[in-house]
Copies of this chain bind each other. A is one copy, B any other.
Amino acid sequence: MDKIKIAIFGSNGYTGYELVRLLLRHPKAELCYLGSRAYKDEPYFKVYPNTFKKLDLLCKDEDINEVAKEVDLIFTATPQGFCAGVMNESLLQHCKIIDLSADFRLKNANIYEKWYKLEHKAKGFLNEAVYGLSELKREEIKKARLIANPGCYTTTSILALYPLVKHKLIDLNSIIIDAKSGASGAGRGAKEENLFCEINENFKAYGIASHRHTPEIEQELSLAANENITLQFTPHLVPMQRGILASIYTKFKGKINELRSVYENTYKDENFIRILPVGILPQTRFVKGTNFLDINFVFDERTQNLIIIAALDNLLKGAAGQAVQNMNLAFGFDESLGLENLGLL
């Protein structure tokens, strides 16, 4: 296949821009349509002057059903509810869709409606939608028409815990995920709480016992364990732009001297998951600007706790990077195409 034609809905958000940035240099991608209600008919470089002289498209605000007829793939980097609101069979017959919102991540519409306080408008497609955690659903993604790209906290947490849960190496009721994210995770909405002077030089927890990524993590880990898992998830806001780091606490039940090889074997063929060498803990700067997820762990003899540390770039492996990885899978390209960059300092 030659270049595929691509549309992005919600191209003026931070995730939208990252998609643009990645796809502009992707050898198999042709950006055809940039959707943005707020910047309709303005050149995209008015939204992101970074792109001046590199990208000549105007922002548009057209019917997604019409757009679908002209492209091979639509990314929806839109608010919760948009993608479910427009979903229909004809759409998926014209093109594939990778949805970066939460609309098709949870298999159970009741859970979606409870945690998101939104009616789900396309329950009929929940079954078909493939949860786009590339490393765990690779074969399904290859065949999917509708891919639900996972959340940023979620990708970090699931991939860090997957080998432990699958092999029952921990007490499944003991999982505590203390996660920390940079501010780009909150998006580009003009809210007082996201102002520079509110976030800078501050650190806070939020959404304790109520954050929407909780059921998504539980759903996928329960699948891996073949058993219902309930866990603690606490997000925090770090005064930086990009990056998530999760510190995960569990009661370890396995043999500690076999643990490293469990992790390494699980992910031995993965390009984007790095089990760091003993003594080097993940830091968000090591993955900034990349599609890597870095993992390492420490076992505390005193408490018998296993502490796992995992880090990724929330806009890349946690959003646009994984979306492009899924695009590569879905269109039969090399999975790493356009994603090889090393991190910026």
A residues touching B (Cβ–Cβ < 8 Å)?
A: 14, 17-18, 20-21, 24-25, 45-46, 49-54, 176, 178, 180, 182-184, 188, 190-192, 194-206, 208-209, 230-232, 234, 236, 238-243, 245, 247, 249, 274, 276-277, 280-290, 294, 298-303, 305, 307, 309, 311, 315, 340-345
Contacts and interface: CB of A to CB of B under 8 A. Distances in A.
- Give the number of copies in the complex: 4
Nearest to A240: B201
A208 to B, nearest CB: 4
12 contacts: A14-B345, A46-B280, A52-B280, A52-B286, A178-B247, A183-B196, A190-B194, A196-B196, A208-B281, A209-B302, A238-B239, A341-B341
Given A25-B341, A298-B208, A283 B202 contact: yes
B307 A241 contact: no
Contacts of A196: 183, 194-196, 198-200, 239, 241
A88 B202 CA distance: 42
- Nearest first, the 3 closest Cβ-Cβ pairs linking A and B are A209-B300, A204-B283, A202-B285
Contacts of A197: 14, 183-184, 188, 194, 241, 345
B180 A236 contact: yes
B201 A281 contact: no
A284 B298 CA distance: 28
A195 B201 contact: no
B180 A203 contact: yes
A324 to B, nearest CB: 14
Given A201-B240, A204-B284, A284-B202, A274 B178 contact: no
Given A178-B178, A190-B190, A247-B236, A342 B54 contact: yes
B276 A52 contact: yes
A147 to B, nearest CB: 24
Nearest to A280: B49
Contacts of A21: 342-344
A313 to B, nearest CB: 9
